[in-house]
Amino acid sequence: MSLGTFLIMRHELLLIAAALSVLIAEIFWDPDKKKGISLFSIILFGVITIIGFIPSPSGSLFGGMYISSGTTLLMKNILNIGVLLVFIQSVTWLKKEENSEKISEYFLLLISTLVGMNFMISAGHFLIFYIGIELATIPIAALAAYDRYKNKSAEAGIKLILSSALSSGILLYGLSMIYGTTGTLYFSEVAKLFGNNNLQILGFIFFFAGMAFKISIVPFHLWTADVYEGSPVNITSYLSVISKGAAVFILIIILFTVFPVIIATWQKTIYVTSVLTMTIGNLFAIRQQNLKRFLAFSSISQAGYILLGLIGGNQLGMASVIYYILVYIFSNLGAFGVVTAISNATGKENIDDYNGLYQTNPKLSLIMTLALFSLAGIPPVAGFFGKFFLFTAAAQKGYYLLVLIAVLNTIISLFYYLLVVKAMFINKSENPVEKFRSDFPTRFALGICIAGIVVTGFASIIFEAIRNLSFGV
Amino acid sequence: MNSGIPIQYFLILATIMFFAGVYGFLTRRNLITILMSVELILNSVNINFLAFNRYLYPHKLEGMFFSLFIIAVAASEAAVAIAIIINIYRRFTTINVEDVNELKF
C-alpha cells in the first residue's frame, strides 16, 4: 500500500484541504477586505468540483471501511455541483453588513458537512456511516442558527439539532440490534448474515425511522417546515437539496447492498411511507403562505416521489433516483434562487408579496415559473422526465396502484405550484415588488439552474451515463 | 463467560433507558432536560453495544469502538446544542419550549 492509494479518497481529502485553507485564510486575511473570502472559497470549491470529474480508480481503504466506486463518485460529483450553486447564490446575502464577520464560518461549516456526506456515501462500515451522518448534520444546525439576532433562526437551530439528535439515537438503537444479531458492522458481512430474524427486522425498522427523519418522510417530517422557515434562505436551500439528496443516496445504497434479503419487508415500509409522504406533503403545501414553508412542504412531497424509485429495488429505480436528485437540485435551487434574490432585495417572503411580479421583474418570474414547472413535472422541462423514470421504475415491478396515487398527487401539486404562478402573472397588486437588478453571482447561478433544467431534460446521454453506473438488488 | 449477570439484564436496562429517553424528549418542557433525554437514549445504545460485544462476540472489539465514537459524537452534539440554547436564552430570556414558539402552522 503506497501513498498513492489514498488518492481513492480524493474528494474527501480535497474538501478537508479546502476547509483548512478557508480557516487559514480567515486568520491572515486583511480584516477590512473580509468579503474577498467569498470569492476565494468559491473559486477554490469550483476547482475541486472540476477535479472531481477526473476519472479516479475505484477500490476500498481501511480494510473495507471506505469504498469508492463509479456510483459513489457520480453521487459526490452531483452533490458538488449543487453545493457550488448554493455558494454562488449566497454571495449577495453574505455581503450584508450583519454577516461580514462570519463569512468564513459559513464556508467552513458547509464544506465540513459536505465532507461528512461524502464519507457517508462511501461508507463500507456502519461506523464510518454514523460519523459521516453526524458530521453532515451537526454543522448544519449551527448554520440554521446563523442569524444570531433573529428569534426565528435560533428556534430553527434548536429544532434541527434536537430532532437530528433524536433521530440518530433511534438509528443507533436499530444498529445495536443489527450488531447484536450479526456480530459485525461491515456492510458486506451484515448483508451475508442477515435473515428474517424478528430482532433484525426490528433493528431495520429503527434504522429506517432514523433515516426517515433525515429525508423528512412522513410521519417523521414535523421538524422540516419550522426549520426551513426559520433558517436563512441559503441554508434552507442547502438543507432541502443537498442534505436530502445525500441522505437519499446513502439510503438507497444501504437498502440495495446491506438489506437485500428483507426486500419484501422494506418494500412494504416504503409503500406506506411513500403514499403518506406524497399526500400529506401536498395537502399541507396548499395552505401555506410563506414561500419557504411552501417549498418545505413541496420538498416533503418530492421525497415521497423519490421513494417510488427505491421501492422496486431494480437498476432503473436507482438510476431514476440519482437522475431525479440531479434534476431536483437544479429546479429547487432555481426556485430558491428567486426567493433568495427577492428576499435579499426587499425582505418579502410571502406568496401575496409576489402579486404582479411579472410586471416589475419579468425575468425572475419566468425563471420561477420554469423551476416550478420542473418541480411539478410539466413535459418540456427536466422534472417531467425525472418523474417519468421514477414512475416507470415502480410500474416495472407491478406497483400500478402506487403509481396511480403518485400521478393523482402530481395533479394536486400542480394546483399549488400554479397558485404561485398565478400570483406572479395574473394577480394585481397595489404595491408590487419594485423593479431591481440582481448582481452578477445571482444571475450566474440562476442561469446555470435554467440551463441545467433544460439540458438534463433533453440530453439523454446524462441518463444513460447514470444508468450504466447504477445497480439493482 | 465468567460474569455472573446474564445478558438479558443489560438489554432490559438499555430498553428501559431508551424509552425513558424518548418519553422525556416528548414530554419535558425545558430544553436542557430534552438534551439530557437524548443523552439517555445514546447511553442506552452504548449499553446495548457493550453488552452484545462482551457476551456474544468477545473476540472482536467492534462494539466497544462504536460506543467510544458515540460518546465523542454525543459530546460534540451537546456542545452545539448548548451553544444554541444559550443563544435562545439571550433572544427569548427563557429556555421553556412553550415560549419558544414563533414558528408554527
Q: Which residue of A has its CA nearest to B48?
A: A176
Residue A430 and residue A300 in contact, taking contact as beta carbons nearer than 8 Å: no
pLDDT tens digits, A268-290: 999 999 999 999 999 998 888 88
pLDDT at A427: 81
Q: Supply the DSSP string of A239-289, one letter for each residue.
A: IIIIIHHHHHHHHHHHHHHT-STTHHHHHHHHHHHHHHHHHHHHHHHHT--
Instruction: Examine the pLDDT at B105 and tell me if it is beyond 60.
Output: no
What is the Cα A256 distance to its own chain's centre? 20
What is the Cα A436 distance to its own chain's centre? 30
Q: Is residue B17 part of a domain?
A: yes
Q: Cis omega (within 30 of 0) on the bond before A219? A: yes
Q: Is residue B51 part of a domain?
A: yes
Asked if A157 and B76 come within 8 Å (Cβ–Cβ), the reply is no
Chain B residues whose beta carbon lies within 8 Å of the beta carbon of residue A179: 49, 52-53, 62-63, 66
What's the burial of A80, exposed, middle or buried (CB within 10 Å: 0-12/13-18/19+)? Answer: buried
Query: For residue B2, what pLDDT band results from cuts at 50, 70 and 90?
Result: low
How many angstroms away from the CA of A175 is the closest CA of chain B?
Answer: 9
**Which residue is it, cell 455541483?**
A81
pLDDT tens digits, A303-334: 999 999 888 888 899 999 999 999 999 999 99
pLDDT at A354: 85
Within 10 Å of residue B29's Cβ, how many Cβ atoms? 11
Nearest by CB: B62 against A130, A161, A184: A184
Angle CA A330–B105–A376, to nearest 5: 30
Nearest by CB: B45 against A138, A173, A183: A173
Measured CB to CB, residues of chain A less than 8 Å from chain B are 126-127, 130-131, 134, 138, 141-142, 145, 148-152, 154-159, 161-162, 165-166, 169-170, 172-173, 175-177, 179-180, 183-185, 225-226, 229-230, 284
Residue A438 and residue A341 in contact, taking contact as beta carbons nearer than 8 Å: yes
Nearest by CB: B77 against A158, A165, A176: A165
Distance CA(A314)–CA(A298), nearest Å, equals: 26
Q: Where are the domains of chain A?
A: 1-260, 262-473
Distance CA(A241)–CA(A371), nearest Å, equals: 14
Distance CA(A313)–CA(A252), nearest Å, equals: 9
- Nearest CA among A188, A183, A184, A171 for reference residue A69: A188
- Report which DSSP code applies to A59: E
Nearest by CB: B73 against A134, A149, A179: A134
Within 10 Å of residue B52's Cβ, how many Cβ atoms? 22
How many angstroms away from the CA of B31 is the closest CA of chain A?
Answer: 9
Query: For residue A34, what pLDDT band results from cuts at 50, 70 and 90?
Result: confident
Nearest by CB: B103 against A172, A230, A284: A230
Backbone angles phi, psi at A426, to 5 degrees: -105, -45
pLDDT at B3: 63
Asked if A183 and B31 come within 8 Å (Cβ–Cβ), the reply is no
> Which of A146, A148, A162, A235 to mutate to test binding with chain B, by most B CBs within 10 Å of its CB?
A162
- Nearest CA among B10, B105, B5 for reference residue B63: B10
Higher-confidence position of A351 and B76: B76
- To the nearest whole percent, how much of chain A has pLDDT over 90? 48
- Nearest CA among A99, A87, A88, A109 for reference residue A23: A109
Nearest by CB: B103 against A131, A166, A226: A226
What's the burial of B41, exposed, middle or buried (CB within 10 Å: 0-12/13-18/19+)? Answer: buried
How many angstroms away from the CA of A122 is the closest CA of chain B?
Answer: 18
Cβ-count burial A383-411 (b if 16+ within 10 Å, e if not) = bbbbbebbbbbbbeeebeebbebbeebbe
Task: Residue B54: give the domain boundaries.
Answer: 7-92
pLDDT at A110: 93
- The region that residue A96 occupies, defined by phi over 0 for left and psi between -120 and 50 for alpha, beta otherwise, is beta
Instruction: Examine the pLDDT at A205 and tell me if it is beyond 90.
Output: yes
Q: Is residue B102 part of a domain?
A: no
Asked if B103 and A229 come within 8 Å (Cβ–Cβ), the reply is yes
C-alpha cell at A224: 422540516
The arithmetic mean of pLDDT across residues A72-76, rounded, is 91
Distance CA(A180)–CA(A89), nearest Å, equals: 46
Classify strands A66-68 and A59-61 as parallel, antiparallel or unpaired: antiparallel
Within 10 Å of residue B65's Cβ, how many Cβ atoms? 14
- Of chain B, the end-to-end C-alpha distance in Å amounts to 56
A314: amino acid identity, one letter: N
Instruction: Examine the pLDDT at A3 and tell me if it is beyond 80.
Output: no
Per DSSP, the three-state class of A123 is strand
Tally of structural domains, chain B: 1
Q: Which residue of A has its CA nearest to B26?
A: A166
Distance CA(A308)–CA(B68), nearest Å, equals: 37
Distance CA(A270)–CA(A30), nearest Å, equals: 53
pLDDT at A31: 78
Distance CA(A23)–CA(A107), nearest Å, equals: 9
Cα distances (Å, whole numbers) of residue A383 to A305, A328, A387, A410, A454: 12, 7, 6, 11, 9
pLDDT at A1: 63
Dihedral over alpha carbons A223, A224, A228, A230 (to 10 degrees): -10
Looking at the DSSP bridge assignments, the partners of residue A123 are: A66
- Nearest CA among B64, B19, B53 for reference residue B37: B19
How many angstroms away from the CA of B102 is the closest CA of chain A?
Answer: 6
Dihedral over alpha carbons A51, A52, A55, A56 (to 10 degrees): 110
Cα distances (Å, whole numbers) of residue B64 to A94, B5, B45, B50, B57: 44, 19, 11, 6, 11
Residue B63 and residue B52 in contact, taking contact as beta carbons nearer than 8 Å: yes
Nearest by CB: B77 against A138, A157, A183: A138
C-alpha cell at A362: 419579468
How many angstroms away from the CA of A257 is the closest CA of chain B?
Answer: 20
pTM (2 decimals)?
Answer: 0.93
Asked if B38 and A166 come within 8 Å (Cβ–Cβ), the reply is yes
Asked if B84 and A148 come within 8 Å (Cβ–Cβ), the reply is no
Asked if B45 and A130 come within 8 Å (Cβ–Cβ), the reply is no
Query: For residue A355, what pLDDT band results from cuts at 50, 70 and 90?
Result: confident
Higher-confidence position of A288 and A434: A288
Dihedral over alpha carbons A387, A389, A391, A397 (to 10 degrees): -160
How many angstroms away from the CA of A165 is the closest CA of chain B?
Answer: 7
* Average pLDDT of chain A, as a whole number: 89
The arithmetic mean of pLDDT across residues A395-407, rounded, is 91
Identify which of A69-73, A219-223, A465-469, B19-23 has the greatest average pLDDT: B19-23
Asked if B60 and A166 come within 8 Å (Cβ–Cβ), the reply is no
Cβ-count burial A15-42 (b if 16+ within 10 Å, e if not) = beebbeebeebbeebeeeebeebbebbb
Q: Which residue of A has its CA nearest to B84?
A: A158
The arithmetic mean of pLDDT across residues B33-52, rounded, is 94
pLDDT at A345: 85
Q: Is residue B87 part of a domain?
A: yes
pLDDT at A2: 74
pLDDT at A76: 92
Asked if B48 and A173 come within 8 Å (Cβ–Cβ), the reply is yes
C-alpha cell at A61: 481503504
Size of interface A-B (CB pairs under 8 A): 121
- Of chain A, the end-to-end C-alpha distance in Å amounts to 32
Angle CA A307–A309–A310, to nearest 5: 65
Query: For residue A247, what pLDDT band results from cuts at 50, 70 and 90?
Result: very high
pLDDT at B1: 52
Distance CA(A413)–CA(A375), nearest Å, equals: 9
CATH no. for residue B34? 1.10.287.3510
